[in-house]
Every structure is written in C-alpha cells, then in structure tokens.
Amino acid sequence: MAIQFSRRGALMTGGAIFVAGCTQAPKTIPLSDIDSWVPNEAQDAQIRSAMEKFQVPGVGIAVIEDGAVVWNGNYGVSNIETGAPIRDDTLFQAASLTKPLFAYVVLRLIDAGVINLNDRLVETYRPHDLADHPWNDSITVRHVLTHQTGLPNWRSADDETALLEAAFEPGTAHAYSGEAFHWLQQVCETKTGAG
C-alpha cells in the first residue's frame, strides 16, 4: 500500500528529518492522517527521539501559513550547562540554511523575467569593495547558484577591508561562497526595488 503524502504530512516529516539532521525519513511518523500542524504524541516522541539520537540539545519549530504562525513548539535547552529551555524568543544561528530558500526566490524571479541566469551581476550592482578584475566582472547569477564564482566564502575580521576578488575564473571550479550569495541578494534587491 502506498503512503499518501499530504502537504502538511510531507512538511511535518520533512521538519522531523531536518531536526534530526538525517537523510532517511523516520519510519514511525504516520504520514497519511495528519490533519493539524500540532504533532500527535507519536510525532512528538519521534522529534524528541531524533534529538537525542543526533545529540541536538534544542529545537524551535514554527509553521507559518498565509503570513501567520499556525503552530510552534519548543524542545530541549538553549544552554546545556544552565539547562535554560528553548523559548519562543530563543535566537538560533541559521547558518546557510536560507541559501536554498533564497535560490528558490531567485528562480521565481527568473521565471517572472526579472533576472536571467546568465546576467552578469556587475551590470546591476557593483559592490564598493569589489576588486577591478575581469573575473569579477564575468560572474553571473548561474555562477552564484552553482557555487562557481571563485569568490571566498566570507572574509575574516582581519580581511574585512580587503577587496572582494575571485580566486579562479568563474565557471571553471566549485567553491562555496557566502559573499557571492550576499552580492546576488543586493542584485535582486536592486532589480525588484526592495533594496
């Protein structure tokens, strides 16, 4: 019998997988009968079990639908030494988890004709700290989304005043770059008038 994935069921399962940091779906979360964002006892137990298994001390989960929080839950602690619990106002370091979401927004802008995968970023926005080098001038939206810009991930505090420069010709190698995504963000803000 095939498992039917409702939108909410798929998202709840995806959230549980994300919480655990694993690559396989937990087998004990029922997928077909989810009619609420509120986890049932089995789902709640699975979240806690995954946290324990993968040594995740604390998790805050919120579901937003139509611009409003429809469910949120807090699990574990924000400080393992003090035992301070996760609360609604606990801040988490999101790291690079937003890059796939931003990439989706960029793809939607491409679908809408606002930008193009082959647009060179300098044609829309040139950062004040971008070095004058032909490699920098050739960086495209496609290069950013595929981590082929040659730009560094992030400059260290010691390098904050250093000019931003590609270490290799864009499109010839892969190197993760937060700097490139930040530049593309500025391009998107300029194109949409949000900046």
Q: Which positions are catalytic?
A: 96
Backbone angles phi, psi at 76, to 5 degrees: 80, -155
Helices (H), the chain: 7-20, 41-53, 99-111, 134-137, 141-145, 178-192
Query: Beta-carbon neighbour count of residue 192 at 10 Å?
Result: 13
Query: CA 46 to CA 44: how far, in whole Å?
Result: 5
HSE-up of residue 95 (Cα within 13 Å, Cβ side): 1
Query: Beta-carbon neighbour count of residue 147 at 10 Å?
Result: 17
Provide the edge-to-edge strand list for the sheet that holds 58-65. 58-65, 68-79, 84-85
- Work out the end-to-end distance of the chain between its first and last CA atoms, rounded to an integer number of angstroms: 50
Residue count (the chain): 195
